[in-house]
Amino acid sequence: MPRLWAIKLTNELNQLAYDDDKKHKAQYLELQGGLADTIAKATRVPGSVADAPPGSQKFKDWLAGEDGRFYRQWMESLDRHGTKNYGSNTQPLYGYQSLVGLMQHSNAKYDDQFLYELGDDLIAAEKKQPGIYTEWGAGHDGIRADALDGLLGVMSKNPDAATAFFDPAGNGSGSDHRGNDHLKYLLNEREWPQHSTAAGPTVFTMDDPLNRTGLGAALEAAATGREPNSAGAAFGQHSEAQARVMQETITLLDKDGNGDTIPENLKVPLGRALADYTVDTHAILSGTEPSSPGGLSNINANGDESGITNSKHSLLRVMRGVSDAAYGTTPGGEPVLVYDLLYENERRYSAEYLSTARDAPAGQQSNVVGDWDNRARHVAEVYGSMTAIGSDMILDDRDTKIGNLNDQMRYTYHGVGGLFTQIPVVGDPVQRMVDAATYEYSKDVAQAAEDVAQSEDSAATTAGIDGTNALLDAWGDERGVSDSDAHKHAKGEAKQSFITGREDAYSALRTRK
């Protein structure tokens, strides 16, 4: 069958590229790329997963017809050969592993229904044959043992496919609706394959350093609608399905209050996804509508402007969980963390949020006290939360002792914005505010951490509020109202809200010790 020779040819090309004829490696890999592109074109299915998911009657009707003959035969052959060992007993190489390794060479976008069905088949295979994706010994060059995680990486190049695969609401309508629990299985239930080595009767195991890299990429694509690490869209643009994926991801990660313990390879992609939801995280952290402190069971469904409504404490713990990952470095070699990305997006959106406050005629600032006070309070509460997250990374054990301060205090400053692609472009007035509010926010974080370490009642201090005041001052200067009673009153209101946001965040982060 054609499917069998595709697997065998892939194995032979890898053998030549990595062992027998290394000087022609590029040519062999190019051949694999051409074969992978051919498979991508040959496995296209009419429609989409959202309309006709595998298993639905629509899908079955197409599959049974003449147009679906090749696809049907292809999948039937994979069922037979995917779990067959083409390697040795000590270094197995299963057909699914070879196929996914081949697919990773393609420059084409694979069909969403094919990816969905293949993902289902890979999950079914490992449930039926535990350990099938374990890497033994040196493994096989050019092929990842964890075929499922490898497929998720391929899926990330088709964001709509990733969204459909993870959407907790399922796909299809009426009698064609099919649910799925892919997100729950991959985040909470799967036993992720390890690398195993046998030395006589003893088997040594260790974590795969690439563990969950495909999952992270696919989750980012599914929640944002864009390929991983793509340039960010405007604030607040997500479909209902994308928002459902993001909301359920946060919920599952925070099971039993464990949202701050996220696997390392998920941190950066999930951090980028969270940054893409800054409008929603700002609303949740500040307590503004349509969020609720305890969270809502459903998303805020609003077409292409849908949003998440998770509980504040769950969100805080997950934001903390991703924040300490290394995102990259500045041109000067300073470490940049996911925290910097989250903080920068919150800062820019806060400036935009303040910029939409009502204007007041000269001498009539009292007419806008309520609006200005509310916006200042909301922004300050978000800043308090972000300061708490940063200072918690400094604290050694979430108690009252400073840990390895110099090693953990690695944040960069206001100039990190240009390093991130996930920061939307803002208008000139907002950009002027952001530029004017230049402040080394690491000072706030360090001050708050020091305060927690030394004080039994941190709620009595405003440690870390300087960055908030810097933005509020820039807002006042941009409006030309810095000396007005209304602006001064708004800053006064912000003070207590900053403390409230910071202390509430500390409470959330201390839930799990």
Say yes or no: 435 and 398 in one domain: yes
- Judge whether residue 342 has pLDDT over 90: yes
* CA–CA separation, 291 and 219 (whole Å): 23
Assigned token pair, 38: 């051919």
**pLDDT for position 452:** 81
The last residue of one of the domains, among 165, 198, 213, is: 213
CA angle 371, 373, 377 (to 5 degrees): 120
Structure tokens at 481: 């109202």
For residues 284 and 339, membership in a common domain is answered with: yes
Judged on CB neighbours under 10 Å (0-12, 13-18, 19+), 432 is middle
Show Cβ contacts of residue 9 under 8 Å, excluding neighbours closer than 6 positions. Answer: 35
**221 within some domain:** no
Q: Are residues 282 and 366 in the same domain?
A: yes
Q: How many domains does the chain have?
A: 2
Contact 94, 84 (CB under 8 A): yes
Do 138 and 96 meet the contact criterion of CB atoms below 8 Å apart? no
Share of the chain above pLDDT 90, in %: 60
Q: In this predicted structure, what is the pLDDT of residue 416?
A: 61
Both 295 and 343 in one domain: the answer is yes
CA distances to 51, 72, 158, 238, 507 from 113, in Å: 10, 13, 11, 22, 44
Range of the domain at 456: 240-509
Q: Averaged over 45-54, what is the pLDDT? A: 94
- Identify the band that residue 328 occupies on the pLDDT scale cut at 50, 70 and 90: confident
Average pLDDT across the chain, whole number: 87
pLDDT for 409 equals 46
Q: Where are the alpha helices (DSSP H) in 129-277?
A: 147-155, 159-166, 182-184, 213-224, 240-253, 264-276
pLDDT for the residue 410: 46
Q: Is the pLDDT reported for residue 89 higher than 70? A: yes
Under 8 Å CB-to-CB from 488, ≥6 apart: which residues?
none
The 135-136 sheet, strands edge to edge: 135-136, 194-199, 202-207
Residue 381 is assigned to a structural domain of this protein: yes
Q: How many CB atoms lie within 10 A of CB 261?
A: 12
**Which of 62-71, 80-89, 322-331, 366-375 has the least mean pLDDT?**
366-375
**Residue 397: inside a domain, yes or no?**
yes
Non-local CB neighbours of 501 within 8 Å, separated by 6+ positions = 285, 286, 380, 381, 382, 383, 384, 385, 388
Pairing of strands 194-199, 135-136: parallel
Rounded CA-CA distance 413/60 in Å is: 56
Looking at residue 367, the DSSP 8-state letter turns out to be G
Given a cut of 80, whether residue 3 has pLDDT beyond it is no
Helix 278-286 and helix 312-323: axis angle, to 10°? 130
- Say yes or no: 182 and 142 in one domain: yes
Look up the pTM and report it.
Answer: 0.92
**207 and 265 part of one domain:** no
pLDDT tens digit string along 275-321?
Answer: 999 999 999 999 886 656 678 889 999 999 999 999 999 999 999 99
CB atoms closer than 10 angstroms to residue 291: 24
Q: Are 393 and 324 in contact (CB under 8 A)?
A: yes
Q: Is 465 contained in some domain? A: yes
Whether 290 and 370 share a structural domain: yes
Q: What is the DSSP letter of 17?
A: I
pLDDT for the residue 411: 46
- Asked whether the beta carbons of 465 and 497 are under 8 A apart, the reply is no
pLDDT of residue 351: 92
For 122-149, what is each residue's pLDDT tens digit?
Answer: 999 999 999 999 998 777 888 999 999 9
Q: Is 222 within the bounds of a domain?
A: no
Which has the higher per-residue pLDDT, 189 or 446?
189
- Residue 465's pLDDT is 93
Q: How crowded is residue 131: how many other Cβ atoms within 10 Å of its Cβ? A: 12
Determine, yes or no, domain membership for 303: yes
Q: Tell me, what's the pLDDT at 27?
A: 85
Indicate whether 261 and 200 sit together in one domain.
no
Q: Which of 195, 213, 231 is the last residue of a domain?
A: 213
Asked whether 192 and 208 are in contact (CB, 8 A), the reply is: yes
Question: pLDDT tens digit string along 60-75?
Answer: 999 999 999 999 999 9
Averaged over 227-248, what is the pLDDT? 89
Cα 449 to chain centroid, rounded = 27
Averaged pLDDT, 389-410: 59
Q: Can you tell me the mean pLDDT for 155-179? A: 96
Residues 422 and 312 in one domain: yes
Query: What is the structure's pLDDT at 399?
Result: 45
Average pLDDT over residues 81-101: 93
Most confident of 327-331, 400-404, 406-410: 327-331
Q: How far is CA 248 from CA 169, 187, 323, in A?
A: 10, 10, 19
Residue 406: pLDDT above 70?
Answer: no
Q: Is 57 inside a domain boundary?
A: yes
- Cβ distance 133 to 147 under 8 Å? yes
Q: Which tops the pLDDT comparison, 21 or 378?
A: 378
Q: What is the pLDDT of residue 508?
A: 93
Is the pLDDT at 84 greater than 70, yes or no?
Answer: yes
Cβ atoms of 180 and 167 closer than 8 Å: yes
In one letter, which amino acid is 358? R
Confidence band (pLDDT; 50, 70, 90) for 5? low
Whether residue 154 sits in one domain with residue 34:
yes
Give the residue among 385, 325, 320, 319 at the shortest CA–CA distance from 350. 385
Got the DSSP string for 22-57? Answer: GGGHHHHHHHHHHHHHHHHHHT--SS-TTTS-TTSH
Indicate whether 187 and 278 sit together in one domain.
no
CB of 118 closer than 8 Å to CB of 214: no
Between strands 326-329 and 335-337, the pairing is: antiparallel
Q: Tokens representing 179? A: 């649910």
Q: Can you tell me the distance from the alpha carbon of 5 to that of 138, in angstroms, rounded to the nearest whole number?
A: 25
340 versus 231: which is more confidently predicted? 340
One domain, residues 376 and 294: yes
Q: Angle, nearest 10°, between helix axes 369-394 and 466-479?
A: 150
What pLDDT shows up at residue 365? 58
Q: What integer is the mean pLDDT of 242-270?
A: 96
pLDDT of residue 481: 86
Does residue 181 belong to any structural domain of this protein? yes
pLDDT of residue 310: 95
- Closest to 376 in 3D by CA, of 503, 288, 497, 499: 497
Length of the chain: 513
